[in-house]
Amino acid sequence: MEKKPHFIRREFLPREVPSISLALLLAAVLLLNALLYLYLDKFYISLGRVETDRGLCPFGHFKFGAVKNCSPWLSCETINREVRKLRCVGEGAVKKVFLSEWKEKKVVLSQLTNSELKEDFLHGLKMLKALQSKHVVQLLGYCEQQFTILTEYHPLGSLRGLNETLHIPKYKGMNTWHRRLMLAIDYVSVIRYLHSSPLGTLVMCDSNDLDKVLSQYLLTSDFHILVNDLDALPLVNRSAGRLVKCGHRELQGEFVAPEQRWPYGEDVPFEDDLMPPYDEKTDIWKIPDVSNFFLGHVEGSDIVRLHLFDIHAACKKKDPAERPSAQEVLDTYRKVLTLLIQEAAMPGTREML
């Protein structure tokens, strides 16, 4: 009779241990999930931090760096008196760009170089003023009479230098599938913003090849993306039957969307008047190619591409109407990021359960 308690303990002990282990495992999973969601929440909040900071300033004002107070956009007089050019850092068809200094801060001064393209320059200024947000480089001042624009300086430059930047020892820790996917999310966020901007549906026309696309965007020091060049942003207005054409020359190559190419064959010479217009879905066609550049060839990038395969295939539909919206692409990118972070945080958890 005295041995019965001993047998009872031996009979129930094997059942109690797995129960405790399972409870601990479930608690660990719940804790990891909580930490993951806190991280993702912090991540999405961080995407909006620039917008929040700028939102404290009324239209026509700016602030940057550690400065807390808003300042009005600099006038012609102030730019001429207080801004000092340091050196030329770039030149395109429309403007020349100078690294400059204002009150011991680095800024960027852009000036028109071709008087025949002054309408493009003024259109870019108009877009820059109207679209100030977390997605757009910050305007500091302008002078229409002298065709001059002053913007915030970002030392990492355009996205064309992304791979070189990621090989600098200081930034090698950023060269991961996770960070690269976040850059792709930033890029699609900009496209989504342009397609639903305060001015209406805008098309990013300076995008006839990958190098041209990358030159339109800046990489910030905290590894986010800002659109910088807004000279070619025509407006789509379907209700008014208004579509767009990106320039007046024939576009060729697989990078541009099928509807942007001459549809009448090689036997018919190109004529701008005969070229059919199109809509913002040309931007969607280019997303997979730009994102492929962002993802690069780091460990894990092929897994990301596999998860994005279906949405990228939809982006490449020949019929523009069958392509997803920028919002749908953005939603998919964010879901993939969340899924892959979960899998990285809890490898093998599903098999253990």
**CA 186, chain centre distance (Å):** 3
pTM value is: 0.84
Q: What is the DSSP string of 174-205?
A: G-SHHHHHHHHHHHHHHHHHHHTBTTBEE---
Domains and CATH numbers, the chain: 73-152 (3.30.200.20), 157-345 (1.10.510.10)
Of the candidates 243, 269, 271, which has an alpha carbon nearest to the alpha carbon of residue 257? Answer: 243
DSSP state of 171: G
Tens of pLDDT along 19-63?
A: 666 656 555 655 555 555 555 555 544 444 434 344 568 899 999
Q: Look up residue 275 and give its two tokens.
A: 């070229």
What pLDDT shows up at residue 241? 87
For the segment 145-149, the average pLDDT, to the nearest whole number, is 97
Predicted pLDDT at 66: 74
Question: Between 157 and 347, whose confidence is greater?
Answer: 157
